[in-house]
Amino acid sequence: MVEEQGRSRLGRGLAALIGDVGEEIGAIERARGQRKVPVEFLRPNARNPRKAFAEAELEDLAASVRERGILQPIIVRSIPGMIDAYEIIAGERRWRAAQRAELHDVPVILVEANDREALEIAIVENVQRADLNAMEEAAGYERLIAEFDYTQNDLAKVIGKSRSHVANTLRLSKLPEPVKRMVGEGAVSAGHARALLAVSEPEQVAKRIVEEGLTVRDIERLGQDEARSENKPVRAAVPKPEKDPDTRAVEKALEEALGLGVSIQHRASGGGEMRISYKTLEQLDALCRRLKA
């Protein structure tokens, strides 16, 4: 009970720390105060769930920083045993942009946070700003569960998301590695990724998303079709009647003449149908020319 209350209080503190600029400045004054430090005093956090930083986005942010400076301070904590060194908890993208913009100093919020709290802040800050891709978000949730014994309910409360969102995001970790890479690179969206969980061959379908532009609804339909197929009762195969020798002889003669597969279905009434199979459009074109001639 005490731990749950602690997490609830921490969640409210995080909300203040990662809110709008005005809210964040208010949180600073209530904490240890805002300050400016040389950009080289900051160190990236190896535990930061965000791993991908788009080059174009960094350039755009750097241009904005040159023009207006950093409006939202970077949240940091002291590095034990080191003087004038701070580990970034939230705001690594701003720090990278500041370096590109050749700023000498950056505004920071210095907070006291243990590893668990630092990871929470990093995840919440990125999730609320939609800076994490779905796989980074899932990895962050898994880390809190594995290292700090969080339940899905704990995560939902602290992060401000529904429990179903947390559960669905965690399920993405079950996808094959090639699909995870495609999600991380942005080739496959989070909505597509969740739908892929319901198909038997997610890697092949993911390739079709990229090549054919399949929608989330298309993938959901594939999953539903597979489910219906699996639940359909298996019927005993009805043996096909053997073709008489004369029919087989006609099929063979036509196949040799056309260079294509031929199947004839003859009915007792005297009628029937003939099917000609082709593998390429070139074969179809050639057949059409021969029939016209």
266 has which bridge partners? 272
User: What's the helix, strand, coil split of the chain in %, to 5?
Assistant: 60, 10, 30
DSSP symbol at 32: T
97's CB contacts (< 8 A; 6+ apart) are 58, 61, 62, 64, 65, 70
The catalytically annotated residue of 87, 92, 120, 136 is 92
92 catalytic per annotation? yes
Listing DSSP states for 260-287 in one string gives: SEEEEEE-TTS-EEEEEE-SSHHHHHHH
Residue 276, strand partner residues: 262
d(CA 200, CA 191): 17
Q: How far apart are CA 287 and CA 278, in angstroms?
A: 9
Q: Looking at the annotation, which residues are catalytic?
A: 92
